[in-house]
């Protein structure tokens, strides 16, 4: 089946025929036209699926074959042949069980008919579904089963041993090893050179992740067994920390591609035309839903906002009042701040409030800012001190009034910490 003289090329003007079969431990299927094989597949069943009934295993084999070759079968009528007679009435039966409902949904959209074929005639798919148990004795002494196509279904795991034995008898390899042993002056133990081993650190699997747009690939070694949680953690450590989930243009260095709308009549295939129309409808619905969500969030946020507008000459309150010098756009204003202030003079409207009345108590001086722009509190006076017990030690605290603040906002500070931060202030 794997030789070029057996496998044929598909002819899309003729219907495809799928032959499917399931055994106790595996499923198999072949795709053919005019009794010529085009492709074949087989897959082992896990313990959960092995416990299913024959009807359910045969149905799994059909779904597996249709999903694997859906690119050939989509939009065309094809025939499915199985040796399970009850599946012949699959399309006319009512899906009563959860299992039937699950697998029927996976076959929706395909044009097919199911025909019964006796197990004696269904030899190819039957052979692919039956994998014999292989142990070390079978590897050393291959078993010949009394059936056709034994070579297809018989797995052989000793190819690495065959490769090693072929190297050991190869004259060129033996000459290279002898040359290395004779010419090596730094190696004291020549026997160690005769065998080359690679320490893989217990890793047996390589997880490959490829970005389909940028073609960046990550190859990460894993040790078996592994679970979804460990794989997700590895993804965070090796991939997410390098790229993250950032905007398209920031990652790829260019704007995202424009998705042009479909022009009716430009596609020759009806299936392609329908797919493009569905894509445009989906994008329209998506944009509409995003707009609705944005408007809904705006309505909720606007409930906690007030409409503010200032004119040149107005004096907002908080710190100040400071006169408005200029309107910067619709929602920002430039204020007349004291000379030497380290704060940028342009503020968003949400940071300002208009001065109401002349008797409003305000702070003319801005808070002191450090060179990095952060606010820095400086002590103005020590109002009181007290002693308290902390464990077995007696500690001292100071009641500090801060510069630019009222005495009611004074706070108790530890004596040692205060002296560390303000060593020049008299206490």
Query: Average per-residue pLDDT in the chain?
Result: 76
Question: So what's the pLDDT on residue 427?
Answer: 77
The CATH topology of domain 1-185 is Nucleotidyltransferase; domain 5 (3.30.420)
37 pLDDT higher than 60: yes
Q: Which residue has the higher pLDDT, 316 or 92?
A: 92
Say if residue 73 is exposed, middle or buried (CB neighbours under 10 Å; 0-12, 13-18, 19+): buried
Q: Does pLDDT of 398 surpass 80?
A: yes
pLDDT in tens, 44-85: 888 888 888 888 888 899 999 999 898 888 888 999 998 888
pLDDT score for 193: 47
Q: Report the pLDDT averaged over residues 265-277.
A: 83
Give the pLDDT score at 79: 92
Place 292 in a pLDDT band, splitting at 50, 70 and 90.
very high
Higher-confidence residue of 305 and 60: namely 60
Query: Looking at 28-37, 47-56, 122-131, which range is the least confident one?
Result: 122-131
Contact indicator for 60, 25 with CB cutoff of 8 Å: no
What is the predicted pLDDT for the residue at 247? 60
* Least reliable range by pLDDT among 4-8, 63-67, 69-73, 150-154: 150-154
Q: Give residue 245's pLDDT.
A: 58
Give the model's confidence band at 97: pLDDT under 50 very low, under 70 low, under 90 confident, else very high.
confident
- pLDDT tens digits for range 215-255: 778 898 888 788 877 888 888 888 877 766 556 666 666 77
Reported confidence tier of residue 18, pLDDT bands at 50, 70, 90: very high
pLDDT of residue 361: 58
- Residue 78's pLDDT is what? 92
User: What is the per-residue pLDDT for 393?
Assistant: 83
Per-residue pLDDT at 103 exceeds 50: yes
Give pLDDT, residue 127. Answer: 67
Count other C-beta atoms under 10 Å from residue 69's C-beta: 19
Domain range annotation of the chain: 1-185, 205-252, 259-300, 306-375, 379-421
């Amino acid at each position: 089946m794997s030789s070029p003289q057996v496998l044929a090329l598909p002819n899309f003007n003729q219907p495809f025929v799928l032959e499917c079969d399931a055994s106790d431990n595996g499923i198999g299927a072949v795709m053919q036209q005019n009794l010529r094989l085009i492709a074949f597949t087989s897959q082992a069943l896990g313990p959960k699926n092995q416990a299913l009934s024959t009807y359910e295993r045969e149905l799994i084999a059909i779904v597996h074959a249709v999903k694997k070759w859906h690119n050939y079968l989509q939009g065309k009528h094809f025939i499915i042949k199985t040796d399970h007679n009850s599946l012949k009435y699959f399309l006319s039966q009512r899906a009563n069980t959860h299992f039937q409902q699950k697998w029927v949904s996976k076959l929706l959209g395909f044009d097919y008919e199911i025909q019964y074929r006796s197990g004696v005639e269904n030899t190819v798919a039957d052979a692919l579904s039956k994998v014999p148990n292989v142990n070390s004795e079978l590897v050393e002494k291959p078993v010949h089963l009394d059936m056709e196509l034994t070579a297809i279904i018989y797995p052989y795991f000793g190819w690495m041993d065959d490769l090693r034995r072929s190297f050991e008898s190869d004259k060129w390899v033996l000459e290279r090893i002898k040359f290395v042993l004779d010419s090596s002056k730094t190696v004291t133990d020549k026997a160690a050179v005769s065998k080359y081993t690679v320490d893989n650190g217990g890793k047996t699997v390589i997880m490959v992740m490829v970005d389909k747009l940028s073609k960046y690939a990550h190859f990460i070694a894993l040790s078996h067994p592994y679970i979804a949680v460990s794989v997700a953690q590895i993804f965070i450590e090796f991939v997410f920390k390098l790229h993250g989930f950032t905007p398209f243009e920031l990652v790829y260095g260019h704007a995202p591609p424009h998705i042009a709308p479909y022009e009716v009549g430009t596609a020759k295939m009806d299936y392609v035309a329908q797919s493009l129309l569905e894509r445009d409808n989906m994008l329209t619905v998506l944009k509409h839903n995003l707009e609705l969500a944005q408007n809904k969030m705006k309505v909720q946020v606007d409930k906690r906002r007030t409409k503010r507008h200032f004119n040149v000459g107005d004096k907002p309150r908080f710190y100040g009042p400071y006169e408005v010098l200029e309107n910067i756009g619709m929602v920002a204003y430039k204020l007349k701040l004291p000379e030497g202030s380290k704060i940028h003079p342009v503020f968003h409207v949400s940071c300002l409030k208009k001065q109401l009345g002349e008797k409003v108590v305000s702070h003319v001086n801005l808070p002191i800012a450090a060179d990095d722009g952060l606010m820095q509190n400086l002590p103005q006076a020590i109002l009181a001190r007290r002693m308290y017990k902390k464990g077995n030690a007696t500690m001292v605290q100071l009641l500090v009034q801060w510069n630019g603040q009222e005495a009611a906002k004074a706070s108790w500070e530890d004596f040692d910490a205060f002296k560390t931060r303000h060593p020049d202030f008299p206490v």
